[in-house]
């Protein structure tokens, strides 16, 4: 919102934010696949119960969970890691995650931007 208030166009903010969110989702998936050896050394191993819960949600709901979890702040970082660890189909992951993040960014930039603009200038 600070960029919008500073005078940047909504389109610019939308593109930059969407690209950065999507790149973050891909990096989380990569970390989940075990691609980041430093991360694997530093993080605590999830308990078996937590692993099972994540796998059950992903197995049952798949791309729908990835799409809607893109909206929830902490969960949007965990679900791609679980998807990578489970070796969830990358194409399905990429499409659903990118769509979820894009809808989230659209809502943030355009809908909340309109509300803030109306309150500031209305």
In the prediction, which pLDDT does 9 show? 83
Give pLDDT < 50 ranges for the chain: none
pLDDT of 54:
64
pTM of the model: 0.75
Torsion angles phi and psi, residue 28, rounded to 5:
-65, -40
Could you give the 3-state DSSP secondary structure of residue 35? coil
pLDDT at position 36 is 59
Tell me what percent of the chain is helix, strand and coil, each rounded to the nearest 5. Answer: 80, 0, 20
At residue 95's C-alpha, the angle toward residues 58 and 14, to 5°, is 120
Q: Which positions ≥6 away from 113 have C-beta within 8 Å?
A: 1, 4, 10
User: For 27-50, how does the pLDDT look when each residue is reduced to its tens digit (9 = 90+)?
Assistant: 999 988 886 565 555 555 656 665
Check residue 97 and give its pLDDT: 94
**33: which residues sit within 8 A by CB, 6+ positions away?**
84, 85, 87
User: What's the token pair of residue 6?
Assistant: 């500073």
pLDDT at residue 92, as a whole number: 92
Which pLDDT score, from 0 to 100, does residue 4 have? 74
Query: How many helices (H) does the chain have, and how many strands (E)?
Result: 8, 0
According to the model, what pLDDT value does residue 51 have? 60
**pLDDT score for 2:** 76
């Amino acid at each position: 919102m600070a960029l919008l208030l500073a005078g940047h166009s909504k389109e610019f903010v939308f593109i930059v934010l969407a690209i950065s969110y999507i790149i973050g989702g891909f990096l989380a998936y990569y970390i989940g696949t075990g691609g980041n050896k430093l991360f694997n050394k530093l993080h605590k191993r999830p308990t078996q119960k937590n692993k099972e819960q994540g796998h059950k949600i992903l197995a049952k709901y798949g791309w729908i969970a990835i799409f809607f979890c893109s909206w929830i702040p902490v969960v949007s970082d965990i679900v791609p890691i679980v998807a990578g660890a489970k070796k969830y189909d990358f194409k399905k992951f990429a499409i659903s995650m990118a769509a979820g993040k894009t809808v989230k960014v659209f809502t943030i930039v355009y809908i909340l931007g309109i509300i803030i603009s109306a309150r500031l200038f209305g």
